[in-house]
Amino acid sequence: MLPRYGAGALSDVVPSALAALGVEGEHDLLGLPPSDRYVVMLVDGLGWHLLHRHAEDAPFLNGEGRIRRSLTVGVPSTTSTSLASLGTGLAPGRHGIVGYTMAVPGTDRLLNTLRWDTTVEPLVWQPHQTAFERGVQAGVAVTTVSRKAFRGSGITVAGLRGGEFVPADSAGQATAGTVEASRRGDRSLVYLYEGDLDWTGHRAGVNAPAWRHQLSAVDHFAARLRASLPADVVLLITGDHGMVDVPKEHRVDVDSAPELRAGVRMVGGDPRLRYLYTDEGAAADVLATWRERLGDAALVLGRDEAIAAGWFGEVEDRVRPRIGDVVIAALDEMAVECRREFPMEPLLVGWHGSLTAEEMLVPLLVAD
């Protein structure tokens, strides 16, 4: 499925909340209730279909009137891209965080967007004013509540900058920090990140008991948070992507056959949305080879085709070379691994990144 940029996407959440807070120049695209105080809680890995499939494990999140609608995330459906879309209010083609790993143009290096690279300046990589910065400029007390390790990180500075940062490495710290921040100023906006569900899905899979137990823990946390927040605070809960389990027998390694690696200079992206950066003049041959190898199991497009299809929204010229020359989007329960360069990939069960509804759709829950 295609992302609905500007018509029900994750990138519409914060601009819509700012509009509901009364910030001039912002537009509420999601029909949010007017309020002077908003909390936006993003649960990493909370997919629309997963939440409905396991409704009995999340009674608060699935409560009557709680689920307002589904949203699409951007492409790739991966954390760093989604966080930047949430924070900037922009599609990936504009904010430029177009994958978990992507090429640094003019070099033979990949940028890991969650670990970052000291040679890459976040403010240059993503120069647009964030939605959080616009809120601060309008007099809204903006606060990010997230893990201490994320303070000042590349992805935080690039896509989530603006306002104060409150470190929280436990549920208790997160609740206390969010409640206190929600009371700041005449108008407040708090962004709260929860990441344990995603990590559980990667390691155990979304069909495992461990994932369902973690969903239940998230549900309990959200219910306690809502009960602890002042009554005038609107709590929004959303996700950054869904997830699918990929059996080992459905995985293809880039280095499993010489013809699959031929002409490929670098491998980036995610296993479910793989970027192949090719040698000069080799893109057409690489495209043909991978289309023949994967058949109907994936969409295999050239960079220009993927851009023209609207996957990334409007793509700025500076962002274009960060996208692979060949883009492989998994359709079935399959993935394209590169074990030589990413040795952790074979160890993980759950994956995301592609354009399937399981990965692209996330809930928008309104608890007011």
Tell me the average confidence (pLDDT) per consecutive run of 10 residues in the chain, 368 residues long. Answer: 98 99 97 98 98 96 82 99 99 98 96 93 98 99 98 97 98 98 99 98 98 98 98 98 98 96 98 98 98 98 99 99 99 95 96 99 94
CA distances from 355 to 85, 156, 367 (A): 16, 25, 28
> Running DSSP on this structure, what letter comes out for residue 272?
T
> For residue 13, what pLDDT is reported?
99
Give residue 134's Cα distance to chain centre. Answer: 21
Neighbours of 124 (CB within 10 A): 10
Q: Are 264 and 254 in contact (CB under 8 A)?
A: yes
> For residue 276, what pLDDT is reported?
99
Gap between the Cα atoms of 189 and 4, Å rounded:
24
Gap between the Cα atoms of 151 and 157, Å rounded:
8
Cα-flanking dihedrals φ and ψ of residue 58, to 5°? Answer: -140, 65
> SS3 of 84, please?
helix
Which amino acid appears at position 114 of this protein?
Answer: L
CATH class assigned to 248-349: alpha beta
List CB contacts of 335: < 8 A, sequence separation 6 or more.
246, 250, 251, 252, 271, 272, 345, 351
> For residue 368, what pLDDT is reported?
83
Q: Which CATH superfamily is domain 10-244+356-367 in?
A: Alkaline Phosphatase, subunit A (3.40.720.10)
Residues in the chain: 368
Gap between the Cα atoms of 27 and 18, Å rounded:
8
CA distances from 273 to 258, 313, 351, 356 (A): 21, 16, 10, 11
> For residue 65, what pLDDT is reported?
65
> SS3 of 187, please?
coil
> For residue 68, what pLDDT is reported?
80
Gap between the Cα atoms of 268 and 23, Å rounded:
39
Gap between the Cα atoms of 304 and 327, Å rounded:
10
Give residue 348's Cα distance to chain centre. Answer: 18
Instruction: Output the pTM of the full model.
Output: 0.96
- Delimit the domains of the chain by residue range: 10-244+356-367, 248-349
Helices (H) and strands (E) in the chain, counts: 14, 17
Cα-flanking dihedrals φ and ψ of residue 51, to 5°? Answer: -65, -40
